[in-house]
Amino acid sequence: MPSVTASISIPATQEKVWAVVSDIVNAQRWNKAWNRIELTTEISEGRGTRFLAHVKDEDGGEQTSEFEVTEWIAPEYIEFTPIRNPEAEQ
């Protein structure tokens, strides 16, 4: 499966950056492509957290992708993996 890795330098402490990046419900603050986040698990942080990321498309509709947090090493690393929906691909 293809992957994307991105990094930038942020003039803030590691703890402040982690507080923003690990706040999945408000992820649209740092990922401008996502206009709304909807948790699909009872947990909101840590490995196993799942969420729907809603994106507005060019014609005013909305696309939705599901993700799972597959790595969570606070306050250093977080990894989101897309969840493939075989029914949607048919």
**Per-residue 3-state assignment (H helix, E strand, C coil) for 46-85:** CCCCEEEEEEECCCCCEEEEEEEEEEEECCCEEEEEECCC
Q: What is the pLDDT of residues 1-27, one digit of tens each?
A: 677 777 888 899 999 999 999 999 999
Q: What is the pLDDT of residues 26-67, one digit of tens each?
A: 999 989 999 999 999 999 999 999 999 999 988 889 999 999
As a whole number of angstroms, the distance between CA 76 and CA 13 comes to: 11
Residue 58, exposed/middle/buried by CB under 10 A (0-12, 13-18, 19+)? Answer: exposed
As a whole number of angstroms, the distance between CA 59 and CA 81 comes to: 27
pTM, 2 dp = 0.82
